[in-house]
């Protein structure tokens, strides 16, 4: 053993001398010389510098400690096989799948257990004995799993990445094959790593060990005493930076460090982008600039967004996680669909993926929502068939208009195409199902992708994007090969598809895609990778608490107290390590370092890193950055827009946008969004003759209107325009339970069936005497109607019980309805007609016999209003006068003031329609609330002269009116105004500042803005 020389040097200091020493030794003894560094990034950098110097060296001689252990193992161990990190996860997943470890299951368990086992091994923890009296059922189970895992490895003579180090220790002990060792920059090696270094120190002829060190215990606690060096050489270097965190005297850094606070993460990366651009413009080579983040994976999407906007060439040190690739997600979805029972969202994801052959995915999405499909291949078939059958019935009705027949036929055809498509798709996917060996699963999966010629790779597009996708695909195929390799560990063992899919997902989650390295581009890397590099210009972003320092000490599956007992790392150790990485990164900068932090993320304020405070207190750094981004294409477009908006002409327009078009768009957003509604963008189409002509065709004198359509215009003309003129509709909800609309129809149908049968059989209004029979009949009808639904969810069970009642829930809605009917019989009004429809197809047995397919013609000024609709119920007095009733199952309905203000038209228009149909006279309109918390028939208006009749109705005192005829005429007056508005193209958004109705689906595309209204007084016709 020759003397071990330890060099106590600042991070980065003396690296050149170490490289030179290695170069010399490797020239003399290429196979017996090794250079060990802490990161792969530094290993690559050292190799690059040696390459530049034209110094030959043996591959793998410049490496990390795990890399060196692997090389030793590969050179010696003939009877054991190393497994990658994915192998550990694979084995743990299989052991957990056996179900013998109930306390350790759950999402993320495999990853967390793999981390725990690695820490226990690397730190040589005697688990669970080290817990002492803190041992528990959980620690016993963890130990049992650890033993099973180690047994699994031993039985098959396998070695995982952590045990590889102990194997290397054993293989090197007493060996003389490594004769010259250079170790540079390792910060506080773990006990197992120290063992390997000590073995090298014992056996080598020359042992040079550079430890990052400065006389600052707040950062550098490891003086390398554990190595028992023979000679200690103190470094020559001195840097004020190494005294950071030591409460030394403040000093001026002369502009070397700069600090910026930015609004949010995007603004921060944009500021970095501009500063980088300025440096490049000033002559700095992009390769001399590095941008580091504490969480590189989290920052890369933002970099990918911003740096191209500044035309910055950049390269990221690590490939992105494969699981983040849309292409890989699509390929995994192929397995997820059958593995998770053909859930609607999965099938639609697969059918709409551009990477998989499919087509018509959007149509399938729509149809599957309408068919109320949740999951299950049988449900897809049955529910699509039922949807088609329902439509077929509608088509076959003699009263269905010809245009509707054609529309329905087309829809049935598309349902049939969707059924055929899903049948084919599911038949293909069914080949993946079942319990198979992993190679069998892989073979079927690959063969299905081959048959589909999937993934479909785009032929053209952005070069970087295409390259990235090709790398993702190669990475995914590599993962399949790794899984195949790992499957050899379990020959002949069969696993269900769900487990196969989960194993593959696990491997994908732990794999990164490839990346193209470009030393001439700006380097984007993790802040912990910067140590020991020499970076002329360094940016460190996202310096917020939680990111840097990240003070997580707790081991997975252990409490804080257990972690402390295991003595792995204390909070002080973690803080020191974080301080080290920060200090080492600062020391890597040669000319300037730019630090920054975002003040908020969305609406959440972020806490600036305490490290920045330490820098500010010690070095008085300058500020950097501005809000001007002259090199951003996006900012250039904004600037040009701002100039155009002020009426000035920009010197240059951003590429791809003509000034005229930009001005037009600016006007739409700036000019026409202010003040009263006055432009076509606000739905005022009066200035466009073509629109007026089209509106005249659609809504002119021959048009048929429903009260609901007119009420929509009354509430919001813009919504009427979107819904009725443009025919826009949002996607139906993918609701597996009864919708509000279906609940309403169910109640309507039961009420109709009961009363039409009751009256047809000659019964009088329900009385105490006839109540039992009436109850039996309405419950029978209720059960039959409820049985038409095939829901099985708990919500439907509750809905059904709420309708029909039960011993546990008490009387149902139908029973309470009949009770109320019995109480209201005193009014003298007799339920006479039910579901009276006009202007709609008449289906016998579903509407009242007096219904008429022709619209009702109601005189309206100089024209005739053609009205369609369906009146829920007409109650008649012995003298022929009548009241109409509308059933409401929702929570609110209009009041008399809404009718007078023209916002509610249904009751007056329906009275006029029934009067026109029957020649009788209407005297009242009522809303019958039928819902869980309330069953009550409340007159909204009634003829004051008929007090005796209506006084028995609850809450009716305030709603008597002197003249029902005048009320109806008033409503018709409003209709005249609305028709004029529709025909003249007046469709402004709502004019009141009140909230828009929650059910409006157009809020995201609407130009309604209550602030705009606040500043402008707008009349109801939309003008100010």
Tokens 């012995």 found at: 878
Where does 53-136 have alpha helices with state H? 65-76, 85-97, 109-122
Q: Are 356 and 367 in contact (CB under 8 A)?
A: no
How far is Cα 724 from Cα 721, in angstroms, rounded to an integer?
Answer: 6
**Rounded to whole angstroms, how far apart are CA atoms 333 and 449?**
12
* Cβ neighbours of 687 (radius 10 Å): 10
Residue 1008 Cβ vs ligand SF4, minimum distance, rounded to whole Å: 3
Shortest gap between Cβ of 894 and ligand SF4 (angstroms)? 16
- Closest distance of CB 693 from ligand SF4, Å: 24
Measured from the CB of residue 899, what is the shortest distance to ligand SF4 in angstroms? 20
* Residue with smaller CB distance to ligand SF4, 782 or 985: 985
Using the minimum distance from each CB to ligand SF4, give the nearer residue, 788 or 998: 998
Which one, 656 or 1014, has the nearer CB to ligand SF4? 1014
Beta bridge partners of 518: none
Please, what is the minimum distance in Å from the beta carbon of residue 983 to ligand SF4? Answer: 20
Q: Are 887 and 814 in contact (CB under 8 A)?
A: no
CA-wise closest residue to 21 among 46, 38, 1, 52 = 46
Q: Considering the complex, what minimum distance in angstroms separates the CB of residue 707 from ligand SF4?
A: 18
Q: How far is the CB of 603 from ligand SF4 (least distance, A)?
A: 23
Transcribe 578-633 into DSSP letters. HHHHHHHHHHHEEEEEEEEEESEETTEE-PBPHHHHHHHHHH-PEE---S--TT-H
Backbone angles phi, psi at 535, to 5 degrees: -115, 115
Rg (CA), the chain: 39
The residue (of 140 and 731) whose beta carbon lies closer to ligand SF4 is 731
Least distance in angstroms from the C-beta of 1013 to ligand SF4: 10
When the beta carbons of 687 and 997 are compared against ligand SF4, the nearer one is: 997
Tell me which residues touch ligand SF4 (CB under 6 A): 716, 718-719, 989-990, 996-997, 1000, 1002-1003, 1006, 1008
Q: Which is nearer to ligand SF4, 714 or 829 (CB)?
A: 714
Torsion of CA 669, 671, 676, 682, to 10 degrees: -40
Least CB distance to ligand SF4 at residue 716 (A): 3
Instruction: Decide if 941 contacts 907 (C-beta within 8 A).
Output: yes
By C-beta, is 35 or 987 nearer to ligand SF4?
987
**Buried-state track 478-504, b at ≥16 Cβ within 10 A, e below 16:** ebbebbeebbebbeeeebebbbbbbbb
Q: Which is nearer to ligand SF4, 651 or 1005 (CB)?
A: 1005
Contact 98, 508 (CB under 8 A): no
Nearer to ligand SF4, 343 or 1007 (CB): 1007
Q: Which is nearer to ligand SF4, 132 or 994 (CB)?
A: 994
Residue 461 makes CB contacts below 8 A (sequence gap 6+) with none
Cα 491 to chain centroid, rounded: 39
- Minimum distance between the CB of residue 1022 and ligand SF4, rounded to whole angstroms? 11
Nearer Cβ to ligand SF4 (816/1007): 1007
The tokens for 887 are 């059933």
Shortest Cβ distance from residue 277 to ligand SF4 (Å)? 42
- The residue assigned the tokens 């809020």 is 1003
| Unique residue bearing structure tokens 């963890």 | 142
- Considering beta carbons, is residue 880 or 997 the nearer one to ligand SF4? 997
- Residue 986 CB, shortest distance to ligand SF4, in Å, is 14
Helix (H) or strand (E) run with residue 267 in it: helix 265-281
Residue ranges in 397-529 assigned as alpha helix (H):
402-430, 438-452, 463-487, 497-509
């Amino acid at each position: 053993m020759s003397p071990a020389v330890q060099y106590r040097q600042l991070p980065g200091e003396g690296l050149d001398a170490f490289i030179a020493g290695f170069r010399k030794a490797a020239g003399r003894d290429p196979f017996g010389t090794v250079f060990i560094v802490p990161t792969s990034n530094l290993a690559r950098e050292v190799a690059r510098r040696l390459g530049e110097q034209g110094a030959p060296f043996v591959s793998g001689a410049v490496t990390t400690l795990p890399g060196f252990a692997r090389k030793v193992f590969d050179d010696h161990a003939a009877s054991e096989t190393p497994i990658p990190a994915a192998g550990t996860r694979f084995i743990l997943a299989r052991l957990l799948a056996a179900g013998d470890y109930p306390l350790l299951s759950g999402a993320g368990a495999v990853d967390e257990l793999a981390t725990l086992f690695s820490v226990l091994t690397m730190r040589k923890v005697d688990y669970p004995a080290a817990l002492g009296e803190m041992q528990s059922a959980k620690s016993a189970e963890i130990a049992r799993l650890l033993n099973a895992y180690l047994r699994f490895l031993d039985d098959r003579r396998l070695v995982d990445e952590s045990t590889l180090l102990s194997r290397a220790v054993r293989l090197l002990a007493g060996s003389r094959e490594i004769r010259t060792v250079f170790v540079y920059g390792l910060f506080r090696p773990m006990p197992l790593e120290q063992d390997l270094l000590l073995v090298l120190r014992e056996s080598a002829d020359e042992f040079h060990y550079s430890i990052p060190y400065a006389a600052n215990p707040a950062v550098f606690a490891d003086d390398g005493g554990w190595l028992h060096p023979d000679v200690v050489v103190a470094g020559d270097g001195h840097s004020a930076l190494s005294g950071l965190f030591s409460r030394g005297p403040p000093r001026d850094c002369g502009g070397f460090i700069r600090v910026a606070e930015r609004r949010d993460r995007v603004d921060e990366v944009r500021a970095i982008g501009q500063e980088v651009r300025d440096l490049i413009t000033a002559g700095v080579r992009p390769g001399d600039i590095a941008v580091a983040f504490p969480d590189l994976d989290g920052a890369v999407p933002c970099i990918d967004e911003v740096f191209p906007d500044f035309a910055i060439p950049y390269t990221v040190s690590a490939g992105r996680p494969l699981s983040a690739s849309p292409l890989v997600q699509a390929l995994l979805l192929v397995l997820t669909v059958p593995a998770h029972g053909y859930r609607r969202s999965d099938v639609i994801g697969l059918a709409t993926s551009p990477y998989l052959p499919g087509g018509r995915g959007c149509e399938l999405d729509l149809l599957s929502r309408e068919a109320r499909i949740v999951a299950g291949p049988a449900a897809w078939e049955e529910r699509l068939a039922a949807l088609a059958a329902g439509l077929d019935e509608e088509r076959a009705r003699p009263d269905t208009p010809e245009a509707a027949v054609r529309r329905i036929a087309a829809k049935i055809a598309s349902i049939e195409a969707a059924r055929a498509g899903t049948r084919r798709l599911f038949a293909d996917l069914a080949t993946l199902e079942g319990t198979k060996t992993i190679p069998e699963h892989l073979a079927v999966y690959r063969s299905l992708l081959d048959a589909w010629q999937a993934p479909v790779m785009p032929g053209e597009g952005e070069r970087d994007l295409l390259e990235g996708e090709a790398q993702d695909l190669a990475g995914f195929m590599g993962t399949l090969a790794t899984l195949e390799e790992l499957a050899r560990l379990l020959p002949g063992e069969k696993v269900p598809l769900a487990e196969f899919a989960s194993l593959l997902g696990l491997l994908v989650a732990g794999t990164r895609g490839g990346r193209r390295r470009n030393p001439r581009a700006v380097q984007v890397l993790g802040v912990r990778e910067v140590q020991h590099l020499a970076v002329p210009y360094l940016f460190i972003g996202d310096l917020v608490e939680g990111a840097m320092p990240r003070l997580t000490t707790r081991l997975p599956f252990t409490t804080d107290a257990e972690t402390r007992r295991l003595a792995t790392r204390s909070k002080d150790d973690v803080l020191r390590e974080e301080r080290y990485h920060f200090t080492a990164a600062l020391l890597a900068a040669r000319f300037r370092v730019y630090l920054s932090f975002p003040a908020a993320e969305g609406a959440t304020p972020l806490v600036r890193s305490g490290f920045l405070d330490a820098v500010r207190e010690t070095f008085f750094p300058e500020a950097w950055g501005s809000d001007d981004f002259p090199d951003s294409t996006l900012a250039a477009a904004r600037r040009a827009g701002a100039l155009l908006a002020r009426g000035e002409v920009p010197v240059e327009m951003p590429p791809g946008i003509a000034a005229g078009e930009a001005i037009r768009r600016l006007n739409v957003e700036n000019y026409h969004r202010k003040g009263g509604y006055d432009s076509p963008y606000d739905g005022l189409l009066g200035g466009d003759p073509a629109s007026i002509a089209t509106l005249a065709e659609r809504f002119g004198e021959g048009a048929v209107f429903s009260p609901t359509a007119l009420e929509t215009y009354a509430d919001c003309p813009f919504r009427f325009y979107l819904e009725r003129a443009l025919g826009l509709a949002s996607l139906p909800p993918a609701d597996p339970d009864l919708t509000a609309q279906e609940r309403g129809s169910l109640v309507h149908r039961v009420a109709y069936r009961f009363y039409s049968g009751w009256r047809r059989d000659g019964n009088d209004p329900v009385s105490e005497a006839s109540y039992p029979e009436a109850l039996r009949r309405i419950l029978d009808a209720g059960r039959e109607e409820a049985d038409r639904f095939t829901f099985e969810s708990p919500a439907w069970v509750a809905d059904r019980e709420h309708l029909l009642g039960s011993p546990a829930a008490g009387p149902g809605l139908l029973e309470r309805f009949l009770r109320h009917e019995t109480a209201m019989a005193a009014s003298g009004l007799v339920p006479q007609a039910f579901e009276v429809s006009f202007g709609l197809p008449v289906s016998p047995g579903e509407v009242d016999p007096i219904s008429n397919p022709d619209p009702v013609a109601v005189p309206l000024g100089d024209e005739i209003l053609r009205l369609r609709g369906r009146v829920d119920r007409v109650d008649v007095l012995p003298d022929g006068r009548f009241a109409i009733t509308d059933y409401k199952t929702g929570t609110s309905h209009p009041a008399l003031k809404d009718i007078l203000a023209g916002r509610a038209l249904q009751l007056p228009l329906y009275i006029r329609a029934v009067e026109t149909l029957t020649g009788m006279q209407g005297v009242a309109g009522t809303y019958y609330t039928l819902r869980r918390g309330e069953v009550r028939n409340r007159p909204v208006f009634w003829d004051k002269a008929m007090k005796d009749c209506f006084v028995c109705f609850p809450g009716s005192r305030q709603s008597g009116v002197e003249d029902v005829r005048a009320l109806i005429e008033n409503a018709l007056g409003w209709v005249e105004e609305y028709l004029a508005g529709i025909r003249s193209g007046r469709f402004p958004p709502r004019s009141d500042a009140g909230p828009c109705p929650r059910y409006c689906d157009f809020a995201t595309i609407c130009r309604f803005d209550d602030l705009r209204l606040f500043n402008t007084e707008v009349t109801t016709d939309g003008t100010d």
